[in-house]
Each structure stands twice: as structure tokens, then as C-alpha cells.
């Protein structure tokens, strides 16, 4: 699909990668951008439509779908990350919290907006994933598990929504220069560059975006004799890291 003239909704659009998506969508000619956030007053970008949305709320998702009936592009960006390994104190609670936002959130939004997208010609969904969808380690273990689940969701939605003509895109990246990755000492990509790379791939009809060199490196390593997921992030030669989506 073409970004120019599209009607987009971006979750978590008040800052970080979500804000970059909203900004780049406008730059690329989107006719309207709904900037969704738990607190719509936190949306300060000019030229967008602030929209109240907590992706953990069924009511908020339904209300957003009722309010934004013209949407043909949904960007599931909202996400959280909690540090620590699977055996760390609080890991179960951290897993529940992150799965609710990072997996159930996009699922909830896809279910709410699938009929809207169908009515508007099919459109597209972009899910912000991570290289942590493919590899794990004690730095962000439960976060990685939630992104693995979101990758499975993305692949399943691509098949289920094909009949109605909805393009489903999975975005994989390493560290992105946002608040979410603030405390990680590793090379980081510009959120605007990640957003533009993703939207360019969307326009080309692609279903998967490897948005930076570290995501391409990890992807190549998935089928190696010693696959990438046998390693921790710290073992990657370029110092790459996890998504800030």
C-alpha cells in the first residue's frame, strides 16, 4: 500500500519510535495520523489527532476502533521492557506485565481493527518486533519471550488476514535510540530511520523488515550450525541489542 493518502493509527505515539512513526507518516504524505497514547495530552506533535488508548484495555481498543473508522494502516508500536533473567526475582510478574502489553496488546488491536481495515480496502498492520523475537538471554529474558510471542502473532495474522487483503508487516530491529533503550550501552539506530525503512518496505509489499545491520546479521544466523539463538546478546560481535519498540 501507499503511505501517501493513508489514514494511520500509531499506538504509543507520544514518544520514542511511535512518535517517529507519526512524524515520518506525515512527512510521507499520510492524510491523517491518529496518535494514540494512554494520556493523549502527552501527544505534542502538530498535525496529528490525539487518541486515548491503553492497549491493555478492551474498552479502549473498542472505543478507538469506533472513533477511527477511516483507518487503513495500524502501527502496533506500544511496548514495555523489564530487565532481568527468567530466574530473577519478579520474573513471573514481569512476564505477565510485558505479555499483556507486547503480545495481548497487538492481538487486541488487530481484533478490534480487522473489520475497520476490511471495510477500508484491506490496508495494513505493522507490528514492532525485535531481534529479541529470535534470541534471548538474562538481560531482557521475559521481554524477549513476549516479542517471540508477538512474532508468532504477526505470522499468524498474516495468514488469517490475507483473504481480506490486509498486509501484515513484522519489524525487527536492534537497539533504537529511545527512552526504552536509554540504559543500554550499545549502538543504537535513529527511530526516524527505522520508521522510514519500515514504511518504505510496506510500500514495496514486504511482510518482514530487517531494519538495521544487527537484525540482518541475527536473521542470517538462525539457520547456522551454531544458530544465533544459542548466543546471548552480549556475544554479538557488533554489540547489537534488543528492540526499543
Other residues' Cβ atoms within 10 Å of the Cβ of residue 95: 18
143 classed as catalytic:
yes
Rounded Cα distance between 66 and 63, Å, is 5
Using a cut of 0.85, tell me whether the model's pTM lies above it.
yes
The predicted structure's pLDDT at residue 231: 76
Could you tell me which of 99, 195, 116, 191 has the C-alpha nearest to residue 152?
99
Q: What is the pLDDT of residue 244?
A: 32
**Under 8 Å between Cβ of 128 and 17:** yes
pLDDT per residue, tens digit, the chain (245 aa), is 999 999 999 999 999 999 999 999 999 999 999 999 999 999 999 999 999 999 999 999 999 999 999 999 999 999 999 999 999 999 999 999 999 999 999 999 999 999 999 999 999 999 999 999 999 999 899 999 999 999 999 999 999 999 999 999 999 999 887 666 566 666 678 999 999 999 999 999 999 999 999 999 999 999 888 888 877 654 443 333 333 33
Q: How far is CA 184 from CA 43, 176, 187, 231, 236, in A?
A: 26, 10, 9, 18, 14
The pLDDT of residue 11? 98
Residue 45 confidence (pLDDT): 97
Cell 510496506, residue located: 202
Catalytic, out of 103, 113, 134, 143: 143
Angstrom distance (rounded) from CA 79 to CA 244: 8
CA dist 157 and 96 (Å) reads 22
pLDDT of residue 175: 83
E strands within 55-101?
A: 73-76
Say what the pLDDT of residue 226 is: 81
Q: How far is CA 148 from CA 98, 143, 151, 207, in A?
A: 12, 9, 5, 16
**Phi first, then psi: what are they for 34, rounded to 5°?**
-85, 120
- Whether domain 7-235 has CATH 3.40.50.720: the reply is yes
Amino acid at each position: 500500500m501507499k503511505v501517501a493518502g493513508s489514514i494511520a493509527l500509531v499506538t504509543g505515539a507520544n514518544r520514542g519510535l511511535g512518535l517517529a512513526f507519526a512524524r515520518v507518516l506525515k512527512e510521507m504524505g499520510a492524510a491523517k495520523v491518529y496518535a494514540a497514547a494512554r494520556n493523549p495530552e502527552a501527544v505534542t506533535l502538530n498535525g496529528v489527532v490525539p487518541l486515548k488508548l491503553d492497549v491493555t484495555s478492551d474498552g479502549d481498543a473498542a472505543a478507538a476502533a469506533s472513533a477511527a473508522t477511516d483507518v487503513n494502516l495500524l502501527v502496533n508500536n506500544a511496548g514495555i521492557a523489564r530487565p532481568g533473567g527468567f530466574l530473577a526475582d519478579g520474573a513471573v510478574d514481569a512476564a505477565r506485565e510485558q505479555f499483556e502489553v507486547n503480545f495481548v496488546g497487538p492481538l487486541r488491536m488487530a481484533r478490534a481493527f480487522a473489520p475497520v481495515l476490511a471495510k477500508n480496502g484491506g490496508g495494513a498492520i505493522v507490528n514492532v518486533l525485535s531481534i529479541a523475537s529470535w534470541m534471548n538471554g538474562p538481560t531482557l529474558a521475559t521481554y524477549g519471550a513476549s516479542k517471540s510471542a508477538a512474532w508468532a502473532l504477526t505470522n499468524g495474522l498474516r495468514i488469517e488476514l490475507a483473504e481480506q487483503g490486509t498486509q501484515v508487516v513484522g519489524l525487527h530491529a536492534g537497539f533504537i535510540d529511545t527512552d526504552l533503550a536509554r540504559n543500554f550501552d550499545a549502538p543504537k539506530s535513529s527511530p526516524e530511520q527505522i520508521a522510514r525503512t519500515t514504511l518504505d518496505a510496506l510500500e514495496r509489499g514486504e511482510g518482514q523488515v530487517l531494519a538495521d545491520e544487527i537484525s540482518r546479521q541475527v536473521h542470517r544466523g538462525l539457520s547456522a550450525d551454531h544458530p544465533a539463538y544459542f548466543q546471548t546478546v552480549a556475544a554479538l560481535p557488533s554489540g547489537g541489542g534488543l528492540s526499543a519498540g
